[in-house]
């Protein structure tokens, strides 16, 4: 199994390690619920170095990113990151990702670990006449995510970057504990926070110093278990569950990232047609009213008829109830709609609710 450069810290801390798409990763250090609450209330540190990084460079790098993605990469500058996707001609997801402009003619796609190889092949195989070079940089980058309301206070003394000026999705370069890094105000938890990318051969210095600096705020390292419950409460999509090559960007409720006016891109025609004709199904959030916990792939019923499957479902540590996502026929997606979820052969009452389930209070 592959290991990140921070593996020894996870191993030494006694974290429970699991095989996550070929990576040996911490799923929990102590307790998913405690880790979850720590991120909501204080701050938590994640090793997300398993994420993939694909570099597109060359004189037509921007044109190529524009062709591959529905969002408008021409709006990027070196101080902004953008949520986007790799889309198929059908307007469905090869992957969802963050795009960074490193410099003129160099763009970095930050993709899901499970999809890195697939995405790399996809990006390589569509470049046709574009004058670009495509490189898989995933093994070089260490990526940390510091998330939670205390993130700014913890990271500030460790870097020369003016963090407080950074709005969400802003990017800066500088040193974190002396190591050259790219820092963005992004994350996958629904909280304020930063993601730190470094090519340093000693990223453990950053890991240790953040944990030390965060001690007075009760910082904890956070595993993939709480990462999943945090992102689901905030309704951030998980590839392979909520979005994949069968779900379109519009059906996933991510229409805001499709910029039809920017020109042609893979999937544009299909998505435009879908937008004009109207989508037939859409992702919806639900809450279980009866007893039980909805899980991925459990059947969903409306008026006794199976209409879909749960894409993501869990016990929400914040709301202390079972929540989930599913694609419903569009006429059933309004909050208040009664649905049922099949849990071990029994139909359990549930109700469509507004998403995101959780949004942090903005100052």
Partner 1 sequence: MYPEDFRYTKEHEWIKVDGDKATVGITDFAQNQLGDVVFVELPEPGDKLETHQTLGVVESVKAVSDVYSPISGEVTEVNGELNDDPEILNKDPHKKGWIIKLKVKDKSELEELMTASEYEKYLEGLEEEE
Q: Does residue 287 touch partner 1 according to CB under 8 A? A: no
Q: Does residue 330 touch partner 1 according to CB under 8 A? A: no
Q: How far apart are CA 110 and CA 184, in angstroms?
A: 12
Question: Which lies closer to partner 1 via its Cβ, residue 31 or residue 88?
Answer: 31
Backbone angles phi, psi at 303, to 5 degrees: 50, 40
Q: Which stretch binds partner 1 (CB under 8 A): 62-70, 240-248, 252-260, 309-317?
A: 309-317
Q: Is 309 exposed, middle or buried (0-12, 13-18, 19+ CB in 10 A)?
A: middle
DSSP conformation class of 53: E
Q: Decide if 86 contacts 119 (C-beta within 8 A).
A: yes
Question: Which lies closer to partner 1 via its Cβ, residue 270 or residue 322?
Answer: 322
Question: Which lies closer to partner 1 via its Cβ, residue 282 or residue 347?
Answer: 347
Region 225-254 residues binding partner 1, contact defined as CB under 8 A = 225, 228-229
CB of 11 to partner 1, least distance (A): 12
Q: Decide if 259 contacts 265 (C-beta within 8 A).
A: no
Number of residues that bind partner 1 (CB under 8 A): 19
CB of 178 to partner 1, least distance (A): 36
What is the token pair recorded at 184?
């963005």
One character per residue 114-153, x = contact with partner 1 (rule: CB under 8 A): ----------------------------------------
Cα angle, residue 92 at apex, residues 90 and 97 outer, rounded to 5°: 135
Question: Which lies closer to partner 1 via its Cβ, residue 266 or residue 341?
Answer: 341
- Which of 241, 346, 236 is CA-nearest to residue 297? 241
CB atoms within 10 A of CB 198: 24
CB of 312 to partner 1, least distance (A): 12
CA 175 to chain centre: 25
Q: Decide if 83 contacts 253 (C-beta within 8 A).
A: no
Question: Which lies closer to partner 1 via its Cβ, residue 245 or residue 349?
Answer: 349
Q: Does residue 296 touch partner 1 according to CB under 8 A? A: no
CB of 26 to partner 1, least distance (A): 12
* Sheet with strand 133-136: strands edge to edge: 81-87, 93-103, 106-111, 52-57, 133-136
Q: Does residue 317 touch partner 1 according to CB under 8 A? A: yes
Q: Which of 115, 159, 314, 326 binds partner 1 (CB under 8 A)?
A: 314
Beta-bridged to residue 316, according to DSSP, are 321
CB of 348 to partner 1, least distance (A): 11
- Which of 320, 331, 332 is CA-nearest to residue 357? 320
What is the token pair recorded at 330?
């569009």
One character per residue 56-95, x = contact with partner 1 (rule: CB under 8 A): ----------------------------------------
Q: Which residue has the tokens 């240790």?
A: 208
Q: Does residue 291 touch partner 1 according to CB under 8 A? A: yes
Q: Which of 5, 6, 7, 28 binds partner 1 (CB under 8 A)?
A: 28
CB of 308 to partner 1, least distance (A): 20
Q: How far apart are CA 14 and CA 3, in angstroms?
A: 16
């Amino acid at each position: 199994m592959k290991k990140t450069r921070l593996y020894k810290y996870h191993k030494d801390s006694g974290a429970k390690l699991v095989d996550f798409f070929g990576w040996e990763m911490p799923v929990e250090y102590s307790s998913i619920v405690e880790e979850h609450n720590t991120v909501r209330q204080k701050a938590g540190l994640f090793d997300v170095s398993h994420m993939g990084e694909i570099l597109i460079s060359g004189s037509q790098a921007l044109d190529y990113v524009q062709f591959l993605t529905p969002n408008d990469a021409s709006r990027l500058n070196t101080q902004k990151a953008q949520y986007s996707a790799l889309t198929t001609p059908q307007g469905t997801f090869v992957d969802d990702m963050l795009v960074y402009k490193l410099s003129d003619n160099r763009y970095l796609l930050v993709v899901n670990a499970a999809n890195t190889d697939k995405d790399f092949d996809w990006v390589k195989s569509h470049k046709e006449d574009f004058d670009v070079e495509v490189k898989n940089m995933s093994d070089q980058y260490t990526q940390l995510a510091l998330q939670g309301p205390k993130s700014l206070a913890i990271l500030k003394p460790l870097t020369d970057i003016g963090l407080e000026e950074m709005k969400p999705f802003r990017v800066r370069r500088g040193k974190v504990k002396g190591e050259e890094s790219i820092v963005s105000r992004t994350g996958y938890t629904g909280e304020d926070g930063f993601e730190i990318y470094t090519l340093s051969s000693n990223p453990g210095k950053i890991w240790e110093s953040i944990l030390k600096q965060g001690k007075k705020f009760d910082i904890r390292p956070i595993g993939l278990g709480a990462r999943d419950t945090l992102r689901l409460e905030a309704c951030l999509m998980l590839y392979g569950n909520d979005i994949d090559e069968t779900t379109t960007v519009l059906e996933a409720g991510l229409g805001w990232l499709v910029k039809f006016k920017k020109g042609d891109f893979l999937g544009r025609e299909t998505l435009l047609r879908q937008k004009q004709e109207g989508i037939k199904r859409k992702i919806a959030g639900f809450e279980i009213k009866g007893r039980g916990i909805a899980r991925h792939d459990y059947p969903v019923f409306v008026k006794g008829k199976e209409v879909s499957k749960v894409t993501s479902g869990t016990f929400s540590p914040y709301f202390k109830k079972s929540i989930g996502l599913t694609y419903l026929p569009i006429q059933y997606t309004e909050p208040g709609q009664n649905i049922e979820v099949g849990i071990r052969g029994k139909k359990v009452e549930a109700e469509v609710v507004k998403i995101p389930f959780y949004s942090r209070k903005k100052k």
